[in-house]
Chain A
Amino acid sequence: MSWLDKIIPSISRTETKRSNKVPEGLWEKCVKCDAVLYKPEMEKTLDVCPKCDHHMRVGARARLNMFLDPQNRQELATEVEPIDRLKFKDVKKYKDRLTAAQKETGEKDALVAMRGELKGMPIVAVAFEFAFHGGSMGYVVGERFTRAATIALKENIPFVCFSATGGARMQEALISLMQMAKTSAVIERLKMQGTPYISVMTDPVYGGVSASLALLGDLNICEPGSRAGFAGPSIIEQTIRQKLPKGFQRAEFLLEHGAIDMIIHRRDMRDKLASLLAKFTRKAAV
């Protein structure tokens, strides 16, 4: 190999690296109004479109990051990892789907649980990762939720859940269904003890999660425009052979029909929940 050959690959490598540094990916489009948005700016607005106020989806970690105080955080139930009990296989093996989702999101499964503080108030919070298998609930989501809630129960500190999910995870079949019963049971213990549980539904919340932990909050809350329901719109349309009314299953629809207590804008989420929880725990105003 000549000295030139030795140099050329390194040159080309450098060039590739350089091209990655080009500020591509600094811009994104609002999925609703198509406005071109500058990403660093979006961090300040908490991923809410400054043009049309559309609340973009945020990942579980980003969600907890924007919600909890920066100090005294501790992630919970990380030891709970997915198991493919049914050896489920369709066109792909469930095991391989899990590995792919883990690689893509950097998460072990679709729920992140943390103990932390909200304006100094000790609290346990969990958030769904929609990018992991559509935020679907199988064993890990149910178990992590339950372990986190149990800590809130034992320490009698408020519990908050941010959900974003398509529902129960098919690939874990009835084990997924039973997570509905499991999570509902622990929530009922919180309720009997008088430990506040706030369920915040972010777009979207459907199926088995909606029919269990998401609608059992002392307070049920939605972000503006988020959709939540039991059956997805296409299933309902197929069943009744009718077009659905405009705004069906949106936060505003849910408020009107009495399913939720209020709609809270993302930028107000911390302040509002802190103020609500202070009242429920009979603490001084924050």
Chain B
Amino acid sequence: MNLNYLDFEQPIAELEGKIEELQLVGNSSDVNLADEIARLREKSTKLTENIYSKLTAWDIVKVARHPLRPYTSDYISRVFTDFDELHGDRHFGDDRAIIGGVARLDGKPVMVIGEEKGRTVHEKVMRNFGMPRPEGYRKALRLMEMAERFKLPVLTLIDTPGAYPGIDSEERGISESIAQNLAVMSRLRTPIICTVIGEGSSGGALAIGVGDHLNMLQYSTYFVISPEGCANIIWKTVTKAPEAAQAMGVTSKVLQDLGIVDETIPEPLGGAHRNLDEMASKLQERLVSQVDRLSKEPIDALLERRYQRLMSYGN
């Protein structure tokens, strides 16, 4: 099994493997295999299209958690320029599970805040696998309030398995830190655009997710409890996670129909990780247009619209 491909993608992996072999043979002999390779390429694309047109909610959960899935840092370096990372909550420490700082988007200054899972083992440990502690959310809050003072639009990138459930987290008030962000984001006097880029898990995601516009990348997910957690509580076994994912409706399609998500940003064929540059440029284009639109709105009207939208959830 090719680990760069998910279980339901293994037929694609096989074809890609064949293409690679043929390329090696073609390089080392006089036989011209170009036609055959082109034919297989086309077949592989068709197969991918076919598989990706029928993804279940659980399949999408797997794509959103794919080990090659682009993370916040991948987008920061491609969507923005001139990024300066800012550290610390000024009270306890600097939580590396959240990256924040000032940058430019299409030349205009903005505040970027995102959850980061980390790629290598070392980085994953340093980033606590993208599970922020209270100081992470308090750093985010500090940067958001700073953005308000300097009239910078806030762009958040959501990708977390959840806020960190640990003793230290509880001791330092993880609940309060999340709640405070929800309260302040509801009235922050600057446009806020939130984008779920991978996994949006519960309060830990929402804590940087209240704003004027909510995007989801096509194969990202957003849920109140992980499918495994839900399955464990209701069915008493994690093996029912696929059913739980289906029942909770964790995908952008369901959430857009419910009126919670505003926009789904299409991903390259086979997911964002198959063509990161294409994904980043698409995201950049959408963010530029959204910032332009929201920045033109008078701030009081924008805040009233944000509030009414919050009030309408579930109606």
Contact = CB atoms under 8 A, between A and B. Distances in A.
Interface of A: 83, 85-86, 88-91, 138-139, 142-143, 146, 168-170, 172-182, 184-189, 191-192, 207-208, 210-216, 228-231, 235-236, 239-240, 242, 244-245, 248-249, 257-259
Contacts of A207: 203
Contact of A170 (B248, B307, B314): B248
Consensus secondary structure, chain B interface: helix
Interface string B239-256: 000011001111000110
A168 B224 contact: yes
Contacts of B209: 181
B173 interface: yes
Contacts of B250: 173
Given A174-B255, A184-B179, A242-B167, 15 more contacts: A86-B258, A170-B233, A173-B248, A174-B249, A178-B310, A184-B186, A185-B307, A188-B184, A191-B183, A208-B224, A212-B179, A212-B203, A213-B179, A230-B170, A231-B163
A244 B255 CA distance: 37
21 contacts: A90-B244, A146-B311, A170-B233, A170-B248, A174-B258, A179-B314, A180-B179, A181-B310, A182-B313, A184-B183, A184-B210, A185-B183, A185-B210, A208-B224, A210-B179, A212-B203, A230-B165, A230-B169, A230-B174, A231-B165, A239-B166
Contacts of B255: 174
B225 interface: yes
Contacts of B174: 211, 230-231
Contacts of A208: 202-203, 224
B167 A244 contact: yes
A170 B230 contact: yes
B182 A181 contact: yes
Given A174-B223, A248-B170, A212 B165 contact: no
Given A177-B202, A248-B167, A185 B182 contact: yes
B171 interface: yes
B224 A229 contact: no
A221 to B, nearest CB: 14
Contact of B224 (A85, A176, A257): A176
A86 to B, nearest CB: 5
B175 interface: yes
B175 A240 contact: no
Nearest to B169: A230
A85 B178 contact: no
Given A85-B258, A230-B165, A178 B170 contact: no
B230 A211 contact: no
B260 A174 contact: yes
A72 B309 CA distance: 33
A225 to B, nearest CB: 17
A181 B173 contact: no
Contacts of A249: 170
B314 A175 contact: yes
Given A142-B313, A170-B224, A170-B225, A185 B186 contact: yes
Interface in B38-87: none
B176 interface: yes
Given A230-B163, A248-B167, A90 B313 contact: no
Contacts of B243: 90
A142 to B, nearest CB: 6
B34 to A, nearest CB: 49
Contacts of B233: 170
Contacts of A259: 173, 175-176
A211 B178 contact: yes
A207 B178 CA distance: 11
Contacts of B311: 146, 182, 185-186
B206 interface: yes
Nearest to B236: A91
B119 interface: no
Nearest to A209: B175
Q: Which of A174, A212, A231 has the most CB of B within 10 A?
A: A174
B175 A229 contact: yes
Interface in B279-315: 307, 310-311, 313-315
A89 B234 CA distance: 10
A142 B310 CA distance: 11
Contacts of B169: 230-231
A214 B183 contact: no
A169 B234 CA distance: 12
B234 A229 contact: no
A282 to B, nearest CB: 24
Nearest to B250: A173
Q: Which of B184, B249, B260, B313 has the most CB of A within 10 A?
A: B313
A187 B258 CA distance: 24
